[in-house]
Amino acid sequence: MEEKYLQYTPQDFKSDQEVRWCPGCGDHAILNAVQKGLPEVSKVLKYNLERYVFVSGIGCSSRFPYYVDTFGFHGIHGRASAIATGVKVANPTLSVWQVTGDGDALAIGGNHFIHAVRRNIDINILLFNNQIYGLTKGQYSPTSPLGAITKTSPFGTVEHPFRPGELVIGAQGKFFARSLDVDVKLTTEVMVEAAKHDGTSVVEILQNCVIFNDNAYDFLTDREHREDRIITLRHGEKMVFGKNRDKGLILSGLSLKVVTIGQGGFTMDDILVHDAYNPNPGVHMMLANMEYPEYPVAMGVIRNVKDTTYDDNVRDQVLEVMKDAKIKCMDDLLNSGETWDV
Amino acid sequence: MDKQKSVQELDDVVVRFSGDSGDGMQLTGTLFADASALFGNGVNTFPDYPSEIRAPQGTVGGVSGFQVHLGSQKVNTPGDFCDVLVAMNPAALKANAKWVKKGGMIIADSDQFNEKGYQRAGYKTLDAITELNLQDFKVIYAPITTLTKESLKDSGLDNKSIVRSKNMFSLGMVYYIFDRPLNFTEKYYEIKFKKKPEIVVANKKVLRDGFNYAANIQAIPNTYKVKAATSLPKGKYRSINGNTATAWGLIAAAEKANLPLFCGSYPITPATEILIELAKRKDLGVKTLQAEDEIAGICTSIGAAYAGNFAVTTTSGPGLSLKAEALGLVVMTELPMVIVDVQRGGPSTGLPTKTEQSDLNQALYGRNGEAPMVIIAASTPSNCFDYAFTAGKIAMEHMTPVLLLTDGFIANGSEPWRIPNMKDYPAINPPIVPEGTENFMPYARDEKRLARGWAFPGKKGIAHRVGGLEKDFIKGSVSHDPMNHQRMTDIRAAKVKRVEEFIPEQEVYGDKEGDLLVIGWGGTYGHLLTAVQEMRAAGKSVSLCQFNYINPLPKNTREVFKRYKKLVVCELNMGQFANYLRMNFQEFNYLQFNKVQGLPFTVVELVDKFNNILEGK
């Protein structure tokens, strides 16, 4: 038998549909990263192409399934988590990917999103966060910063934004990672990790909307300062960052603190080692919530904890009950319980 | 037993149990109904309960009732009025006195008819009989609470448990009055309280003491005998309610299609019991997902349908409103799905525990865009099984959502049901696309049904994308082409219309022509049938045309209507089906009989109406 899963190239995952995002949109880079990542996922997990299903809701990001040459379902606004959940429970052998945006997942679809995370259904959620509504042309989203001036907030928003990582961990999420649209290599890396994780994996991808919220992440993508403002976390490695790799994170009291190695008496030994597998969400929550300029913004896999999954539990319970069942077919059921003859 | 008392033989009799919502009246009624069914009577039941789980004790708003109609033939309604009313407190009597036949028997727990009880129920005096005008009724005041306490004083049960058993004392009394054996109910206790033998002993004792008490007192003027039904078709029977029958019909369809059943659903009265029944059936591989909301209920089912399960979702009116957008997505993606709407009183939260047929417009039109779907309505508790099965067959073979309408009345009502054999049901053959199909086109259709292929993810060579955007006629890729949209709109409508070739012609009960055709749909069947039977027995030219297939309508509908001088459409809404028929067959004049009181029709009011129509009033 041919081992197809060993042979895929990004080309195999490109559909014949013309990609219609705006020139310069961050989505192009993410699509590129996913098409590069899928051959890798296939190799690692031995998945053939027909096992992939991409599910989306509504929004710019939700056009994604049309551009990937796998099974795909373009749903309705906010409901992708629910649709993806149904796909996975119906056929747990499928590799299910939900592509969604900050409006789709966190506003209209907030309820489905947190419940998918709570259930720990084995789906992978790629959450494109551009802090704006793009497809409806520039209204603020649940992740727009307080005071953001948009078409529906001409005097600045008066509401506090969600932080997706905080929401995921608060909903008992077991996997949360973050990447940046322009960092194709990192996006590919975390998506492979997400695929390997059993349970709901949420990958937040900071994505630039070139038309309605351009330069929102310039402070992170700017080559000059990038390494001083981003910390890329890897399990088992020291939390070190900076152009000169001389800055790190320590725990000071109940908070994280940035220190410079070799200054103030801090040495490499004082720097925290990233433990993504720790079930305790405390440090993960602090890492996910780090904001510039007080902290570097955390990238990579922040939390990756093993637990039972919803789809496995559904399957196991059915098998367990069926094993000793007296009722094996419809006729058995119809004739069960109290009956009498006329 | 006192041989002096007369035994009155009756063709049918109606008993209504009523009490506080915590008094266990639903169980008492169910046990009586089951015992009567086992005895061989025709049985039909009507639970009538408030939406509060425990309304303030002793108030009229908290009264829960359960009516049982038994007959020496098949009975098609739970009966308009009762021969015997059991009233566990003054509130129950106040709420139900109007449902007792003139001269009927009322058994009341005298212990509850004290100052406090009268006050809570809002009486003006301390004399229910005068205040409610019950002088012509046989009212039997029995100290049921005291006697129950006395009966169980040595049982070792605590006082609360003892008082809770008073419903079984009253059941024992009713068993005496109707000459019922106690053994079935005794067996029920043994199974139900297997791990609590002291409860079994106590219940058996109190039931028997109630029976003996009724036999000993002189107050009970006569007992009744309703012979076992002899006209029922031979076979093995069971009791079934509409919600269980619906759940089982869906499982049966999955079995015939050889696909797993998936149900995404959110609890809502009065549909929840379908989800509960399905959740029990892990032994048959049924997957139930209790979703976070109604929208997730249908959307998880959409995902499951796409992935190749027979997917269903169950709800009631308010839930159907929430599912509206997703229903459009099912229409657009042309996936099979059964949506069950157990109708209740609306609008908004309305009357959650009461019956109505007012979701028809929502079922027909409640979506954005041109979004027709197949609509079927079940008409009796037991035929919910057949119509749920048929809904599944049509959904899967025609690749379309099918909306199955039932209602609170048939969903909660139960009747004896001759157990069917699955070999008598047809095969279900969905158009599943084989692995490796060359040049697979997601929206290519078969000519007979206009159904597209069902291509499961996981199968080689048929990867494709679907979604809510308009589809290219063949390829299924996104298309904004004006003529393509017209073509797709036309073919989606034609596909639904095509179902008329696969459903039976409309049948009529009675003569094929005449003075009056009574038209109904869904759960009003039992009452309309009984009323038409009464009219016909009185020599009137009246027939009944009860619809189960709403969209599309049976092909011969116009031909049926033509042959009657007058048509009257009877429904538990303000005329939704009548207007639908007006739209479809404009040449007829439709009279209407409508009711929205949260209650079924009564046979009496129907017969009155039909007589008035015949007399030209």
Nearest-CA distance A16 → chain B (Å): 10
- B594 and B536 belong to one structural domain: yes
A130 with A167, same domain?
yes
Choose among B221, B222, B257, B617: nearest CA to B426.
B257
- Residue where the block lists tokens 């068993």: B175
Q: Does B284 touch chain A (CB under 8 A)?
A: yes
Q: Hey, are the CB atoms on A72 and B287 less than 8 Å from each other?
A: no
pLDDT digits (tens, 9 = 90+) for B146-194: 999 999 999 989 999 999 999 999 999 999 999 888 998 999 999 889 9
For residue A244, pLDDT over 90 is answered with yes
Same structural domain, B186 and B270: no
| Residue in B255, B287, B420 closest to A89 by CB | B287
Please check whether residues A118 and A249 belong to one and the same domain: no
What is the pLDDT, as a whole number, of residue A1? 47
Which tokens is B209 given? Answer: 């003491």
* SS3 call for B9: strand
Confidence of residue B318 (pLDDT cuts 50, 70, 90): very high
A255 and A106 housed in the same domain? no
Interface contact flag, B281 A333, Cβ < 8 Å? yes
Q: Which domain holds residue B591?
A: 514-614
**What are the pLDDT digits (tens) for B14-48?**
999 999 988 999 999 999 999 999 888 999 999 98
B93 and B212 co-located in one domain: yes
Its sign, for the CA torsion B363, B364, B365, B368, is positive
d(CA A151, CA B496): 43
Mean model confidence pLDDT for chain B: 95
Cβ proximity of A52 and A84 under 8 Å: no
Q: In this predicted complex, what is the ipTM?
A: 0.97
Helical spans, DSSP H, in A46-79? 64-67
* Any A CB within 8 A of B480 CB: no
Q: Is the peptide bond before B270 cis (omega within 30 degrees of 0)?
A: yes
Same domain assignment for residues A184 and A252: no
Tell me whether B257 touches chain A (CB under 8 Å): no
Q: Residue B221: is its pLDDT beyond 80?
A: no
B292:A328 CB<8 A: no
Same domain? For A173 and A292 the reply is yes
A90·B260 Cβ contact <8 A: yes
What values do phi and psi take at B456, rounded to 5?
-75, 135
Q: Are residues B221 and B252 in the same domain?
A: no
pLDDT score for B54: 76
Taking 70 as the threshold, does the pLDDT of residue A225 lie above it? yes
Q: Based on the domain organization, do A229 and A250 belong to the same domain?
A: no
Q: Which of A71, A82, A342 sits opposite B300 (nearest CB)?
A: A82
Residue from the list A53, A86, A337 with its beta carbon closest to the beta carbon of B299 = A86
Contact A37, A186 (CB under 8 A): no
- Best of A77, A85, A315 to disrupt the B interface by mutation (most B CBs within 10 Å)? A85
> Which one has a higher pLDDT value, A16 or A333?
A333
Phi, psi of B59 (to 5 degrees): -90, 155
Instruction: Identify all chain B residues contacting A79, using CB atoms and an 8 Å cutoff.
Output: 295-296, 299, 326
Rounded Cα distance between B183 and B189, Å, is 10
Which residue has 């029977």 as its token pair? B237
Nearest CA distance, B328 vs chain A (angstrom): 10
Mean pLDDT, residues B467-472: 96
Give the start-end residues of each E strand in B169-300: 222-226, 236-241, 261-265, 287-290
Q: In this prediction, what percent of chain A has a pLDDT beyond 70?
A: 99
Q: Let me know: does B550 contact B382? Beta carbons within 8 Å.
A: no
CA dist list (Å): B544 to A323, B518, B536, B603: 49, 5, 11, 14
List CB contacts of B79: < 8 A, sequence separation 6 or more: B12, B14, B44, B46, B67, B69
A165 domain residue, yes or no: yes
Helix (H, G, I), strand (E, B) or coil at B452: strand
Q: Stretch B264-273: mean pLDDT, rounded?
A: 97
Confirm whether B357 is domain-assigned: yes
Same domain assignment for residues A251 and A161: no
Whether A243 and A148 share a structural domain: no
Instruction: For residue B421, list chain A residues with Cβ-Cβ distance below 8 A.
Output: 331
Q: Does B369 touch chain A (CB under 8 A)?
A: no
Predicted TM-score (pTM) of this structure: 0.95
Cβ of A325 within 8 Å of Cβ of B283? The answer is yes
CATH of the domain at B133: 3.40.920.10
Are residues A266 and A187 located together in one domain of the fold? Answer: no
Gap between the Cα atoms of A177 and A182, Å rounded: 16
Nearest-Cα distance to chain A for B273, in Å, is 17
Are the beta carbons of B309 and A325 separated by less than 8 Å?
Answer: no
Q: Are B205 and B243 within one domain?
A: no
Chains A, B: CB contacts under 8 A, how many? 208
Residue B134 lies in a domain: yes
pLDDT band at B5 (very low <50, low <70, confident <90, very high): low
Does residue A324 form part of some domain?
no
By the CB < 8 Å criterion, does A66 face chain B?
A: yes
Tens digit of each residue's pLDDT (9 = 90 or more) over B442-453: 999 999 999 999
Q: Is there a single domain that holds both residue A261 and residue A161?
A: no
- Hey, is the C-beta of A71 within 8 angstroms of any chain B C-beta? yes
Q: Are residues B221 and B113 in the same domain?
A: yes
Cα angle, residue B244 at apex, residues B238 and B249 outer, rounded to 5°: 95
User: Is the pLDDT reported for residue B4 higher than 60?
Assistant: no
Q: Nearest CB to A317: which of B251, B282, B333?
A: B282
Answer whether residue B508 is part of any domain. Answer: no
What whole-number distance in Å separates Cα of residue B327 and Cα of residue B313?
Answer: 11
In a domain, residue A60? The reply is yes
**Same domain membership, residue B576 and residue B542:** yes
Q: pLDDT tens digits, residue range B94-117?
A: 999 999 999 999 999 999 999 999
Domain that holds residue A70: 2-237+275-311
Is residue B347 less than 8 Å (CB to CB) from chain A? no
d(CA B287, CA A183): 41
> Exposure of A340 by Cβ count < 10 A (0-12 exposed, 13-18 middle, 19+ buried)?
middle
Task: Give B248's contacts in chain A (Cβ within 8 Å).
Answer: 330, 333-334
In the block, which residue shows the tokens 């309304």?
A: B55
Output the pLDDT for position B438. Answer: 94
pLDDT at B1 over 50: no
B425: how many CB neighbours lie within 10 A of its CB?
19
| Same domain, yes or no: B40 and B152 | yes
Q: Average pLDDT of A42-61?
A: 96
Count of domains observed in chain B: 3
Angle at alpha carbon of residue A268, lines to A265 and A272, rounded to 5° = 105
* Confidence at A2, pLDDT banded by 50, 70, 90: low
Residues B214 and B254 in one domain: no
Q: Is A93 on the interface with B (CB under 8 A)?
A: yes
Which parts of chain A fold into alpha helices (H)? 26-45, 64-67, 80-90, 102-103, 110-119, 164-170, 184-196, 218-221, 226-229, 282-288, 310-323, 330-334
Q: What is the mean pLDDT of residues A173-184?
A: 97
pLDDT at A291: 97
Q: What is the mean pLDDT of chain A?
A: 96
Q: Is residue A334 part of a domain?
A: no
Q: Is the same domain home to B347 and B260?
A: yes
Q: Does residue B408 share a domain with residue B265?
A: yes
8 Å CB contact of B282 and A318 = yes
Query: If residue B161 lies in a helix (H) or strand (E), which one and from where to where?
Result: helix B159-164
Q: For chain A, how many structural domains are there in total?
A: 2
